[in-house]
Structure 1
């Protein structure tokens, strides 16, 4: 087995009660939720003697729901009145946050996961200034509410990045500097490798982050960036891939590493169930092969965020096709740019991709 490291947020206080073990999906007898709605551990009285422990073991992916359409910006960014951070609660212990596209045109996603001993924030967005992008304030509010429902005064937080080199995912990190009960994964490549216990095995090894009965796997995936990592959540069966694989314009930094990392993900997914691949951005339209240009702040016809795991195979196939070539290649769900500008255009529409004119956004 490869060497691994565990970053464990340590909880204080009394030992948690075992309601999660007794009722893995909450107590259906309490009647707090309408018929047909999944009962959860938060549907127990708020007045308790000890923190609630959730059972994260389940036969399949934990149920949840994502939005079909995210807030999509405005023609004039200054006129936009949407929240600076959009929050979607996938389930009781999993949150998806998106930066307002009018605050930063890449509108990156971040993910907040909870376990019995702490929380994990994956990526930090593209804006450092909390006045324009109040990520920490938003995360703190979610953690406070979650702690209240679970009877926990302290919820240690671990902050990690799919790439410390990716400015669209690391700028908000400064907001968490000095935050109590917070562990931040370091950005320099060598130090980051030590943090995950990967200094002797990179990029073939693996690490772990134990949130308390919800253990997140760390998978080295350089290719778009030298320090790229992906994260796997066995509770929701999500594979978080940052900008290695997402529905948008994938700018390959090293084509050999890119293909090798995708093959590593394919091998991982062959032995670990993956419901969805969750990337760091959405740039594709719902029309196959069509995408928004850089700096666009109005994107009303976006493709959905989640990607089927079968797209890993497609990315491998076409990653090999562009390898050792300076070219762009359009596919229905993503576009590969290898050795060319992200503004590169092509006159020839690719075979096998329907050429549908998207609706005008105005």
Structure 2
């Protein structure tokens, strides 16, 4: 667990509990706290979250960057959890035009922008925190293998995300949900590896989003594997 600042916590599930080693994020406002993802369910996340929120009188809302099992496995540990389908996600956040509409979520003296970015799973979201200028991208961009079953939607989503940043929403760091790359350019770990020697850093520079957008544009409409220093795109 790492406090990025006094209202932003980054928690990683230990690789020894599950090789996915997913990251979850806790963003705390004056009225509500948003927990993004719950891991695989092989660890007691609730205990950790309760400790992080100790002494704070806030409502906890649990949502997801997307609905894959390694991000929703701990849902049963929490009382209020946003559904996983596109319809449920859109209804909760008030998105009336999916995926083109960007909406805000006020946690109380802390406003987030919620950006639909389908392509990896379908109900994918990115979350931009205006306070820290962190861009949370789930499995759509992180130092690892970016699995893309819906190539057209993914290309459009990454373009829309890049345009959001370029439109005057400065990003300090891009933070995703896994680390699957070594610290050697373009080299990832074998699938299922539960030991990560010489691991890549979690945080990606905002230029990495631009790099991904440009790579997808150059690749065109036909899916293709793209190997870059900080990520590998895997069509599926």
Is residue 135 from structure 1 mapped to residue 38 from structure 2 by the alignment?
no
1:101-180 matches, cutoff 5 A: 101-126=15-40, 128=41, 132-144=42-54, 147=55, 152=56, 154-164=57-67, 166-176=68-78, 179=79
Indicate the structure with greater strand content.
2
1:4-15 matches, cutoff 5 A: none
Shift of 1:323: 4.4
The runs of 5 or more residues in structure 2 that have no matched partner are none
Equivalent residue, structure 2, for 1:216: 112
Is residue 265 from structure 1 mapped to residue 176 from structure 2 by the alignment?
no
Contact kept? 1:322, 1:338, Cα under 8 Å: no
1:287-317 C-alpha deviation (Å, 9 max, x unpaired): 0000101111110211100011111111112
Secondary structure, in 3 states, of the residue corresponding to 1:336? Answer: strand
Structure 1 residues 102 and 322, CA gap change in structure 2 (3 angstroms): farther
Shift of 1:102: 1.2
Shift of 1:321: 4.1
Secondary structure, in 3 states, of the residue corresponding to 1:263? Answer: helix
Secondary structure, in 3 states, of the residue corresponding to 2:175? Answer: strand
1:79-94 matches, cutoff 5 A: 87-94=1-8
Secondary structure, in 3 states, of the residue corresponding to 2:53? Answer: helix
Equivalent residue, structure 2, for 1:247: 143
Shift of 1:333: 0.4
TM-score norm. by structure 1 comes to 0.63
1:97-116 C-alpha deviation (Å, 9 max, x unpaired): 00001111110000111111
Shift of 1:122: 0.9
Shift of 1:223: 1.0
Secondary structure, in 3 states, of the residue corresponding to 2:225? Answer: strand
Equivalent residue, structure 1, for 2:186: 289
Shift of 1:185: 1.4
**How far, CA to CA, are the matches of 1:326 and 1:116 in structure 2?**
44
The runs of 5 or more residues in structure 1 that have no matched partner are 1-86, 340-362
Contact kept? 1:323, 1:338, Cα under 8 Å: no
Is residue 277 from structure 1 mapped to residue 174 from structure 2 by the alignment?
yes
